[in-house]
Chain A
């Protein structure tokens, strides 16, 4: 038996050919189109857009097809494309109060201005496999029409209602006109301010952020949260070109926003009031937006003078490990050859074993290796 240690160009090319073949699968099964993925795996496309930090349904769908449905691989393809795009500038802040609401729920009020809008949700479905879908399905019945048209002026956010009474802290962004950082253009350094933390969480791995958010509910940095509001819908993105001096609309995107309201017992300087945790992601992903808002609130421990005792409150820990591309790259790089270093370790272990066998405490000189 001979174990080949070196691979050549031909092997790589052949591996890629085989991959393309495997991606296509059984040729007697019709090929997936990008449009099919974009339309029928919409939530997966949303997640690729969010973690890929690029709002483009077609590209995200293409990435999913090319990645054989491997989510992180698809995120990778999107990010590697995104990084080559020129940066013209930054959009105006998106006004989610003017969102065209598709879904909007509040857990803190029974009813509120703008109403509770259930929208398209898995909530309250019974998770029973639908074998009709397996048999190629049937045309779903058309959606019901809303009785009340949406208010043209937008729907006020729950936190705005609390704000009017002074019960919730003022939004830090509203107080501060300072420029917003950009983790894709500047290396992250610690301590990281909230703008950077939110960016890192927004593109962070959904599973990781979810688990951390969950941990805060189980006592690892408890924040007593309430869902002030979750809303999903379309918002307009505006950009102010320098030469024009006023904002022009670029287009509309779908986003999910979560405003978590949590306790704060107050301090000598600040009366007791509610504090904010914020989550915003592309497309519809309430799970991610909610988890993000929980972790955002936990990461404000330093700012609010709380003891940092739990992982979700530790910004170095959270932000350094939230990015699934960085994580998967470094974990999977262990597949790369390491035989030079392993050789060095092999040699050391052999030497230490020999020492051990002789039962000697006398150190060996390295020249005897």
Chain B
């Protein structure tokens, strides 16, 4: 798998390579292996306190710390971008504690830690994508009790979820879930894809890369092995649809990608640009030009400040 021997050259004095001690990493790797063996099943693990707050990616950070080797190349994104503050902070954490190479290029990375997005670029075999998960339980807002939800999963009793989706259709005419849209993995477990927009759900289906999910506060790890069936829940007469955008990216002209709405002024001016900043930059480097490239603020077109 992806666990290569750690180098013993830890750059941050007093801490082990990638912060966690080796026993903890072993414990987490065992949980990861179990998660891979039972796709979509939430494996409890003895989540550690991390030097960043719960809810800010401690689960993802622990998974990443446990699988990183000295020759891995790490990419960290939040909201699709390498330059959002929390992504910068987590990337710096691993630069400091593991001394490994980092990158913003999706293709170059061996491990990608993400919050809320899957990169637009198709992930490849050998890559691992680590999702930060706030609430791993897809049934949580239908049933607050863990004792109950574990039972429901054990019995594959997912009627609650289907009723919820049906009620959405009855009330709104469509399923009113736009992110953290539930999926069925390998025909068995219903899984929360983490709060990615449902736009990204189809990318999880038969993805070539290994998908790992870490929830630190809730102490759960789950996984989707490469090339696993991931089906977004729907009904025959109400098939699953992803969001589409009317116009292409205003600065790189990409279509079929997820766009962020950027408010330009206080008079209703706005533009839509790629959420995946690396994807957008590469397209512009290849000469693609969006309709508003000239007038876009430098904070968007200047790309990331990270070398």
Chain A residues near B (Cβ < 8 Å): 1-12, 76, 79-80, 82-84, 86, 184-191, 316, 320, 325-326, 328-333, 336-341, 343-348, 352, 355, 361-367, 369
Please, which residue of chain B has its CB at the minimum distance from the CB of A53? B49
Output the least CB separation between B29 and chain A (Å): 16
Majority secondary structure, B binding face: loop
| CB within 8 Å for A333 and B134 given contacts A184-B46, A341-B116, A341-B195 | yes
Given contacts A12-B89, A325-B49, A340-B117, contact A6 B300 (CB under 8 A): yes
Could you tell me if A340 and B145 are in contact, using CB atoms closer than 8 angstroms?
no
| 5 A-B interface contacts by CB (under 8 A) | A4-B299, A328-B53, A330-B54, A339-B79, A340-B275
A364–B176 Cα distance when bound, in Å, is 12
Chain B residues, Cβ within 8 Å of A5: 260, 262, 299
B→A interface (CB under 8 Å): 15, 19, 21, 44-51, 53-56, 58, 78-81, 83-86, 88-89, 92, 115-117, 134, 145-147, 169, 172-174, 176, 178-180, 195-199, 217, 219-220, 241-246, 258-266, 275, 277, 297, 299-300, 304-306
Whole-angstrom CA separation of A316 from B50 in the bound complex: 23
Is the pair A80, B51 in contact by a Cβ cutoff of 8 Å?
Answer: yes
Question: What is the CA–CA distance of A1 and B267 in the complex, to the nearest angstrom?
Answer: 9
Among A329, A343, A347, which residue has the most Cβ atoms of chain B within 10 A? Answer: A343
Alpha-carbon gap, A347 to B79, bound state (A)? 17
- Judge whether A332 and B299 touch: CB under 8 Å: no
Kindly state the separation between the CA atoms of A8 and B299 in the bound complex, as whole angstroms.
Answer: 10
Residue of A nearest to B297 (CB): A2
Q: How far apart are A352's CB and chain B's nearest CB, in angstroms?
A: 7
**Across the interface, do B83 and A8 meet the contact criterion of CB distance under 8 Å?**
yes
Once A187-B44, A363-B173 are accepted as A-B contacts, the answer to whether A329 and B55 lie under 8 Å apart by CB is yes
Residues of A within 8 A of B174 (CB): 363-364, 366
Residues from chain B with a CB closer than 8 A to the CB of A325 are 49, 53-54
Contact of B197 among A331, A332, A333, A343 (CB under 8 A): A343
Q: Which residues of A contact B246 (CB under 8 A)?
A: 369
- Which A residue sits closest to B275, measured CB to CB? A340
Given known A-B contacts A8-B83, A9-B92, A364-B173, A326 and B262 have beta carbons under 8 A apart: no
The 8 closest A-B pairs by CB, nearest first: A363-B173, A329-B54, A333-B55, A344-B178, A329-B53, A366-B241, A330-B55, A187-B44
